[in-house]
Structure 1
Amino acid sequence: MKNFLLSFLVFILLINYIPHVYAIEEKPQIVGPTAVLMDFTTGQVLYDKNMHQRMFPASTTKILTAIIALEKGNLSDIVTANDDVTKIDGNAMYLVPGEQLSLEQLLYAMLLESANDAAVAIADHIGSSIEGFADLMNKKAKEIGANDSHFVNPNGLPNENHYATPYDMALIARYAMNNETFRKIVSTMHYQIPPTNKFNKPRDLWISNKLIKPTSFHYDGADGVKTGYTVAANQVFVGSATRNGHRLISVIMGDEGANIWSDTIKLLNYGFNNYNLVKLVDKGTIVTYAEIGKVKFKLPLVSKDAFYYEVPKGEENSIKSKVELNNDINAPIKKGTILGFLKYTLDGKEIGSVQLLANETVYKNSIGTYYNESKTNVVKDHNKIMTYIEFFSGLLVVLLAALLWRKKKIKAKSKYIFTK
């Protein structure tokens, strides 16, 4: 019995030392004609199905509308609805011309229940007109990097000149999810707008995202983003989910019916099951030291930014790093000066780099001694002292030279007198 227990314990210990081997799952087969799965932190694409194909974005357009409103307006702004809010088809909160709501209330109506009239009221308020707001949308899209998209309205109603790609929508969603207020709104289950000056009943708003709602498609960690549908666009969904600090952004455009939800779940599962987000260096980490001068004064170099990378599970230790410093690093050096790079490779291919900055200001005095920033005041005092020393040393040399010259002259004169 003792031998059996001992063997069993040895077996358990050996199992713990066996390295885990991961096999990447085959890419999921989804019904939707176009899709992309993107890592939120790095922007890496983990799955691509025609991600650069132009499609109608439908109401996922409102992601861009919302972020412009959040950046250019204030949540407490009072917005007065114009007559054009009654001329919009599709989902609505049934605004009345002259009705006043806060920008925050309109954002909830637009993002939770996809109210097209709320989007129009926001556009009129921020851009003065639909056309003016569309200009802001296209400018913002280009700033984000969504270069293959074009917008003509704030709600996504069909128009041949209103299009986007799954990749561009992922970039826009990634940008939007950096905004705390946006994240709060798109993950809110229910919101109520109290009676207004034109509407005597409260409006109850419920989220349309079935990954967040308690439905058969509920997904653990789902925290955004926006649904969309028109006959021309078919089903469109931009999703977000976070697990253990690891957020993924999914986009599917042109899908059929409930497939939009099952396809999204397939994408998210593929990402979470097969990839890990690895932090390779944190911002401000001392990476190496630059040796300055013949005395090899050591200046600490720190990473300008943090660096993350998505890697297939099991390959976390396959990433290699290499420090490359500038040539001829000489003092004086100001803190924050770029002095090199920390470069990362995976399977021999460079995957990114981080700038290395001087972590201190370095001085060099006249006799070749180096001082760092922590002794800045000492350096200044030292330099003053050295200046005085150099001045008086020079003065002493001049005086000695004058004395020697005078002595030599007197000696020569004495010799002349004696000879005569």
Structure 2
Amino acid sequence: MKNKKFKRILSGLLCAAFIVCQTLPVLATDEYGDPIVTATPVPEEVYHTDYYKQPADTDSIEGWVQGPQIEGESAILMDMTTGTILYSKNADKAQYPASITKIMTALLGSESLKATDKFSMSETAAHGITDTQSSSIYADTGEEFTVEQALMAVMLQSANEMTLAIAEQTSGSVKKFVELMNLKARQLGCTNTHFNNPNGLPDEKHYTTANDMAKIARAAWFNPTFRKYCTTGYYEIPSTNKFSETRYLLNHHKMMSGQAYAYDGVFGGKTGYTEAAGNTLVTFARRGNMYLVSVVMQSINGAYSDTKSLLDYGFNNFSRSAIKAKKEICFSCLPAEKYLIKDYRKCVLFYSMKTPSVALPNDADTASVKKNYSIQKNPAGRPLLTINYTFNGHQDGTARYYPKTSISDLRL
């Protein structure tokens, strides 16, 4: 009886085992008969900085296009023609700029020096930077260069010793040149910038903001001599009196044509990196009638991904449009403004030779743009009638009008 019971139990177990085997997948085996173990690959975790999810400050503008997420702590995208800020994130926060400082150095050199002028490297310029890891073309004391060669070395090779040479040639000393840098920054409307050297090497007293840097870069772009230096992709410095070989300089901005992250429309710019500053990047680009400059600070991976996101955002979502405006305006001055124009008439005639324009989201109408008038001092000449255009409270463009007649005529 027990044998029959045992056989029934064994038969049941064998049937159950057979059913289970039928439902299990057949495992592949290797040449030795061992099962090949496979696993579903786990997607690699994507790293983002603490600032990636922080929304853009410009997202708060009514009717504005929401900005992209970027890794950089500070960034700005500006339409250079109108000065309109299309994107802004922590743009007024002080940051270390690293080598994008050299945009200011190259601008001042372009304004003050003749490209064909020659000079000899001083001992302090050639060997004034002791950091052996510093970017350099290894210029030697007494070596002769032209100003163009020096500025190409500054903008393409980021040569730090050549910034000292440009400083000395421009102002007589690095100290006086730094004073000139800070004066120029104030003249351009920078409010939180202090330069302490012409190259951007680490210094606690050397800082700027993305907003201020955009103002500097915009002013530099409108200098045709500077544009030549920042948009050149390749340059050669032939043998000199101290160095027998040709120096080959390649622009380090990887979004230029033919480079690793080439982007349609990018003209050039300036890269920067120190451990304290992280990656900093200034980029000039154009599509159609839109000229953009982007500044990214305290970023990673060269800031190229951030810059691409910003340029895509600007070119895809905004356009520049002309504003209907009179060529001449008869403006009634307020009593407090009369001392500026030195005239006691109630109405003064102002004129402009340019058609003003604004940069707006693609679906916005220029009819929604508001304007306000003001009389402003003009350090370069006669006072100006300035028209500021705004879109839902956001500065969107400016027009300048000049007095139709001279001050001496107004007094008659």
TM-score normalised according to structure 1 size: 0.68
Superposed CA deviations along residues 98-129 of structure 1, whole A, max 9, x for unmatched, are 10100110000110110111111111221222
Q: 1:160: Cα distance to partner? A: 0.6
Q: Does 1:159 align with 2:203?
A: yes
> Residue type of the partner of 2:95?
M
Q: How many angstroms apart in 2 are the aligned matches of 1:190 and 1:206?
A: 5
Alignment of 1:11-410 (within 5 A): 25-84=65-124, 85-88=126-129, 89=131, 90-258=134-302, 260-281=303-324, 286=327, 302-303=351-352, 305-319=354-368, 346=391, 354=399
> Residue type of the partner of 1:218?
A
Aligned partners of 1:321 and 1:342 also within 8 Å = no
Quick one: structure 1 residues 230 and 127, their matched pair in 2 at CA, closer, same or farther if it must change by over 3 Å? same
Aligned partners of 2:384 and 2:401 also within 8 Å = yes
Q: How many angstroms apart in 2 are the aligned matches of 1:83 and 1:149?
A: 30
Superposed CA deviations along residues 197-245 of structure 1, whole A, max 9, x for unmatched, are 1111111100001110423411111012110011111110011101112
Q: 1:83: Cα distance to partner? A: 1.3
Aligned partners of 1:37 and 1:251 also within 8 Å = yes
Quick one: structure 1 residues 135 and 113, their matched pair in 2 at CA, closer, same or farther if it must change by over 3 Å? same
Identical columns (%): 38
Quick one: structure 1 residues 82 and 221, their matched pair in 2 at CA, closer, same or farther if it must change by over 3 Å? same
SS in 1 for 2:276: coil
Give the number of the structure whose alpha-carbon radius of gyration is greater: 1
Aligned partners of 2:385 and 2:402 also within 8 Å = yes
Q: How many angstroms apart in 2 are the aligned matches of 1:232 and 1:163?
A: 11
Q: How many angstroms apart in 1 are the aligned matches of 2:219 and 2:398?
A: 22
Aligned partners of 2:98 and 2:280 also within 8 Å = yes
Q: Which has the higher contact order (CA 8 A, sep 6+)?
A: 2
Q: How many angstroms apart in 1 are the aligned matches of 2:169 and 2:77?
A: 34
Q: Which runs of 4+ in 1 moved over 4 A?
A: 285-290, 299-302, 320-324, 337-361
Q: How many angstroms apart in 1 are the aligned matches of 2:385 and 2:290?
A: 30
Aligned partners of 1:134 and 1:154 also within 8 Å = yes
SS in 1 for 2:298: strand
Aligned partners of 1:304 and 1:354 also within 8 Å = no
Q: How many angstroms apart in 1 are the aligned matches of 2:80 and 2:282?
A: 13
TM-score normalised according to structure 2 size: 0.70
Q: How many angstroms apart in 2 are the aligned matches of 1:137 and 1:339?
A: 26
How many residues are matched? 318
Q: 1:316: Cα distance to partner? A: 3.1
Gaps of 5+ in 2: 1-62, 332-347, 374-381, 407-412
Q: State the superposition RMSD in angstroms.
A: 3.1
Q: 1:317: Cα distance to partner? A: 3.9
Which deviates more from structure 2 when the two are superposed, residues 57-66 or residues 81-90?
A: 81-90
Q: 1:305: Cα distance to partner? A: 4.0
> Residue type of the partner of 2:356?
F
Aligned partners of 1:86 and 1:94 also within 8 Å = no
Aligned partners of 1:338 and 1:355 also within 8 Å = no
Quick one: structure 1 residues 286 and 176, their matched pair in 2 at CA, closer, same or farther if it must change by over 3 Å? closer
Superposed CA deviations along residues 162-202 of structure 1, whole A, max 9, x for unmatched, are 11111111000000000111112111111001111111111
> Residue type of the partner of 2:321?
V
Aligned partners of 1:112 and 1:206 also within 8 Å = yes
> Residue type of the partner of 1:267?
L
